[in-house]
């Protein structure tokens, strides 16, 4: 029997991709669901440094709220997508022509304190999501609500998601506190950082420490550089420690999930398990299709 090598290769590529991708997605989502449920919720004031789960209320920053780009509504965070309808023969698709996401920091508060959150790199799941259609590339704030937003005509479809002040927020990520005398001093690392900073302006370094004016720093002059850098590092640490404690959350450096959600961990874990089930089904379907293709072609 003649074998269409190109067609077989493409089919095997899809089936093996479904098998590997579905399996990876299943394991990843199950692991993330377990991590959410196993990480205890901390109070901001007493939270340990490192990977932490917080739950609180969103508040405005000192510079006020943002304006969402499509609706113009006030919010603390936004994400939008604009899609254009295209039709070619029997193929009808929505193609993304513009999108964006806010990178403004969020201020989360509970009964014990406040934490500033850098949302960059986070998987954000807000409760507010508006979808509607229109005829222009930009909706200019005209939002259709209800059933009309879904069945209305238009060449463009708009999606906008937002987080608002006063809403609850579940956050899990890397927690760090600066100031308040909480951070220790690694003197060698701090001294090295100061010296690297000074080397960025080597002319200024020579002006300060080249006492014989030969355009170089000898061993004795480098000794004075190291001593001055040590004193500078200690002084910076004292100033930082004297400042009020500031709590921050950001994306973890490892493979741990960084999530910001209007829903609690139970809802997120349930969603992740459903997604894991979908990945498992895709994995099994890919395995069955791969075995079938190999048997049909006599390769197995």
Q: Where are the domains of the chain?
A: 5-179+246-297, 187-242
Overall residue count recorded for the chain in this entry = 300
Name every residue whose Cβ is closer than 8 Å to that of residue 69 and which is 6 or more positions away in sequence.
78, 80, 100, 160
pTM of the model: 0.66
Task: Label residue 121 by pLDDT band (50, 70, 90).
Answer: very high
Average pLDDT, the chain: 83
| 261-294 residue pLDDT tens | 998 777 777 877 888 888 888 888 888 888 877 7
Give the model's pLDDT for residue 236: 82
Q: Which of 24-38, 101-115, 152-166, 247-261 has the highest mean pLDDT?
A: 101-115
Task: Label residue 179 by pLDDT band (50, 70, 90).
Answer: low
Helix axis angle, 219-242 to 187-199, nearest 10°: 110
Give the model's pLDDT for residue 1: 47
Give the model's pLDDT for residue 116: 95
User: d(Cα 88, Cα 107) in Å, to the nearest integer?
Assistant: 47
């Amino acid at each position: 029997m003649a074998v269409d090598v190109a067609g077989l290769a493409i089919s095997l590529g899809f089936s093996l991709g479904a098998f590997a991708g579905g399996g990876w997605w299943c394991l990843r989502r199950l692991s993330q669901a377990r991590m959410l449920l196993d990480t205890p919720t901390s109070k901001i004031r007493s939270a340990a440094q490192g990977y932490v789960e917080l739950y609180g209320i969103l508040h405005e920053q000192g510079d006020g709220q943002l304006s969402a780009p499509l609706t113009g509504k006030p919010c603390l965070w936004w994400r939008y997508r604009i899609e254009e309808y295209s039709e070619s023969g029997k193929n009808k698709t929505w193609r993304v022509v513009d999108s964006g996401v806010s990178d403004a920091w969020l201020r989360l508060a509970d009964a014990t304190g406040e934490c500033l959150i850098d949302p960059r790199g986070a998987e954000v799941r807000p409760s507010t999501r508006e979808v509607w259609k229109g005829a222009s590339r930009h909706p200019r704030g005209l939002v259709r609500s209800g059933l009309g937003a879904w069945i209305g005509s238009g060449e463009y479809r708009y999606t906008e998601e937002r987080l608002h002040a006063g809403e609850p927020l579940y956050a899990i990520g890397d927690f760090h506190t600066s100031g308040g005398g909480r951070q220790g001093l690694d003197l060698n690392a701090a001294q090295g950082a100061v010296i690297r900073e000074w080397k960025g302006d080597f002319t200024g370094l020579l002006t300060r420490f080249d006492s014989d004016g030969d355009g170089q720093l000898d061993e004795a002059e480098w000794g004075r550089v190291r001593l001055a850098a040590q004193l500078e590092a200690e002084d910076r640490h004292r100033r930082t420690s004297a400042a009020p404690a500031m709590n921050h959350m950001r994306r973890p450096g490892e493979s741990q999930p960084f999530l910001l959600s209007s829903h609690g961990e139970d809802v997120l874990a349930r969603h992740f398990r459903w997604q894991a089930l979908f990945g498992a089904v895709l994995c099994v379907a890919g395995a069955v299709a791969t075995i079938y293709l190999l048997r049909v072609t006599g390769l197995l």
